[in-house]
Amino acid sequence: MREIVLDTETTGLEANNGDRVVEIGCVEMVNRILTGNTYHVYINPERAMPAEAFAVHGLSEEFLSDKPKFPEIADAFLDFIADDTLVIHNAAFDIGFLNAELSRMGRTPIARDRVVDTVALARRKHPGASAKLDDLMSRYGIDSSRRVKHGALLDSELLAEVYSELLGGRQAMLVGLVDEEGGAPRLVVDHVAAPQRPLPLPTRLTADEITVHRDFIAGMADKAIWNQYLVDEARETGTGG
């Protein structure tokens, strides 16, 4: 299953009132594992950069002046995301801006039913707690020291980690890509073993229930599979004859 974790930076908060997209960052996940495949672009918004927006992402009007305009990158962007699920934090904001840009070109908007909003996921999993990305990273112990200012690609990478945690925790960790003797690179995944309890949980069965069960097994044939469990239990507890 392919998913694209996506983030944008913009000139402001009003997609339908003159603000524009200035950066798009995407990271690819397959079966909830980062593949290392990314898409990243800076975009000339064809307008001035408000001081408030510059303070957030640090992208100046001068820096963006020689970057491609949205119609020049639209095809490459749409090819990268294809028809796969998009994972976005506060999705209405980013999709609103991207669809406003596509609308200016007369292109088909991105359907909202293909989007997973991690804010909604966080609010369901942690009701009453903050769903801000920084707070979620802190909750899950994700290193955010590189996040001096907002950046679309970095925020997508961090959001991918948060997304994995929101779904129940990361079960595998990407180690890297290796080249097999000049052949195509292959993905190497190191599966992380689940933590083990130092002691098994105590049984919930009463002594009478255990006795009834043993009597029931005794009435079965010698090849009954339950006999093997009784032998193993006796070895572990030292109660065997």
What are the tokens at 220?
Answer: 């079965």
Contact 170, 192 (CB under 8 A): yes
What are the tokens at 188?
Answer: 């190497």
Q: Phi and psi of 88, rounded to 5°?
A: -140, 140
Contact 163, 118 (CB under 8 A): yes
126 is catalytic: no
Place of tokens 């999993």: 125
- Of 40, 57, 89, 150, the catalytic one is 150
Cα(134)–Cα(163) distance, integer angstroms = 13
Taking the alpha carbons at both ends of the chain, their separation in whole angstroms is 53
Cα(241)–Cα(223) distance, integer angstroms = 19
Return the sign of the alpha-carbon dihedral for residues 233, 235, 238, 241. Answer: positive
Q: Is 24 exposed, middle or buried (0-12, 13-18, 19+ CB in 10 A)?
A: buried
Q: Please list the active-site residues.
A: 150
